[in-house]
Amino acid sequence: MRAEYKTVMDEVLGVIRQQRLICFTLDGATDVQGKQVINMMACGPIAFFLEHFTMELRRESASNLLEKLLSAKLRLLNCIQDPAPGFILASGEGNVEIVEEGQVCSRTEHFLSPPMLCFCSDSSRVMVKLRKDYLLNNEFTFAYGCAPHSIHNFCMDLLKNFSGIKTVLKQIIYMVQTLKSSHLLIQLFDKLYIEKYQNTYVLILFTKTRWGTVFYTAQRANKVKAAITALPSEILYSELDIDCRKS
């Protein structure tokens, strides 16, 4: 597994080495053990995974993230760039053995023809502070927010301020949760949809942290509307022991 991982990362570094602009970005996630981690990626424009590190939500600050990202950026440049005259790569980094003496590369300008480096993140308070720190550090040319995340926040504001949209979404969420809470109801739903359309669909539940789920939840609910409408009659005339009073 380690050999395969090294092969993949060598190929990734080979692609990144050809890019003249690299945009770093961070994305929070949860590992299989339930621990909070941050994935670090380099985009140009295709995103390539670089590494991940664990985080403590109550302790992680902009200064801590700044230190981790600068370290990752320096290690990446050591792997993909040659040192400028008078400098050498950090020990153990890169594909070329450096034998001459000189100052170890510790900043972007210490590398020969380094790519333009940028940083992009969402708009949480920590990330906004982090973007400002990056620019003040003079290690990145640009630092900017994520446009899709801003659009997602705008959609969330629409849900809060337009009662009609909010009511429809609540009804869809209730429907999806009710069906998914009963294995028998899901079986009946799948049976009806196959009879009507010779196909089946998985219901989508709206999630605030998943961009675009408002649209996809509503779109999927509209597709399965006919099967949902016929579901009460199917329950009444079926011989299954289903308690409908809760729904």
**Where do the CATH 3.30.420 domains begin and end in the chain?**
2-145
Are 212 and 190 in contact, with CB atoms under 8 Å apart?
no
Cα–Cα dist 162/166, whole Å? 6
Maximum mean pLDDT: which of 44-53, 69-78, 231-240: 69-78
Instruction: Give DSSP secondary structure letters for 65-134.
Output: HHHHHHHHHHHHHHHH-PBPTTEEPPTT-SSS---S--EEP-SGGGBSSPPEEEEEE---HHHHHHHHHH
Joined together, the tokens standing for residue 105 give: 């590369």
pLDDT at 155 over 80: yes
pLDDT at 133 over 50: yes
CA 170 to chain centre: 26
pLDDT at 99 over 50: no
Mean pLDDT on 62-70: 86
CATH number given to 2-145: 3.30.420
* pTM strictly above 0.85: no
Mean pLDDT on 17-27: 89
pLDDT at 92 over 60: no
Q: For 171-220, write each residue's pLDDT tens digit.
A: 999 888 888 888 888 888 888 778 777 777 788 888 877 778 888 888 88
Cα–Cα dist 97/88, whole Å? 10
